[in-house]
């Protein structure tokens, strides 16, 4: 009986792992498109989709016990880095008219948990929010201006700002991974064709 239960548990875990890995394959939005979004917003959405895929694949590749690792005292841990990105996906897109989901504590998000499953779930939800914000944004809003760091910026500029900000933290997460012996999964993908 124990063997049968062990076998069933192994099968369930294996199928779940294969399904999870299959869902996190490399994305190709420049080739496959960004349904429902065109023009400048499509280009931004494509970059956001690529960043989402890389963050999620890297978050999955990190061992759970490394989520509390930090390179030095006072520097973001692995979990805090991923959660900072999640918070940014809410804070930055609020500037283009995408309100926070009801009841979401964005202010406390970065230190909310070191639990791998919760961090990954938070990342997924934040990227769903970001992609929806870009999809829902009317092209007419791209030229709307708002105050920004003592000057003004367009909503197009906000979208332009978001991508390198998140890329900065992707670089941080990649450095954390390499230091901890984690190979970024996309570096082992077959070449794009």
Length of the chain measured in residues: 193
**pTM here?**
0.84
The CATH number of 2-188 is which of 1.10.10.10, 3.50.50.60, 3.10.129.10, 1.20.120.450? 1.20.120.450
The per-residue pLDDT for range 16-59, each reduced to its tens digit, is 444 444 445 778 888 888 888 999 999 999 999 999 999 999 99
The per-residue pLDDT for range 99-154, each reduced to its tens digit, is 999 999 999 999 999 999 999 999 999 999 999 999 999 999 999 999 999 999 99
Domain locations along the chain:
2-188
């Amino acid at each position: 009986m124990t063997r049968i239960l062990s076998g069933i548990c192994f099968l369930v875990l294996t199928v779940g792992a294969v399904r999870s890995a299959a869902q996190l394959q490399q994305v190709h939005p420049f080739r496959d498109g960004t349904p429902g979004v065109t023009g400048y917003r499509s280009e931004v959405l494509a970059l956001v989709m690529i960043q989402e895929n890389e963050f999620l694949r890297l978050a999955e590749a990190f061992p759970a016990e490394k989520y509390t690792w930090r390179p030095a005292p006072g520097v973001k841990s692995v979990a805090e880095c991923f959660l900072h990105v999640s918070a940014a996906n809410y804070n930055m897109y609020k500037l283009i008219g995408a309100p926070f989901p009801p009841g979401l504590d964005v202010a406390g998000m970065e230190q909310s948990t070191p639990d791998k499953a919760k961090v990954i779930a938070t990342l997924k939800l934040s990227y769903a929010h970001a992609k929806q914000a870009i999809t829902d944004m009317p092209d007419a809003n791209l030229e709307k201006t708002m105050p920004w760091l003592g000057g003004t910026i367009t909503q197009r500029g906000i979208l332009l700002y978001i991508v390198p900000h998140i890329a900065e933290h992707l670089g941080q997460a990649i450095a954390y991974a390499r230091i901890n012996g984690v190979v970024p999964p996309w570096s082992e993908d077959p070449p794009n064709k």
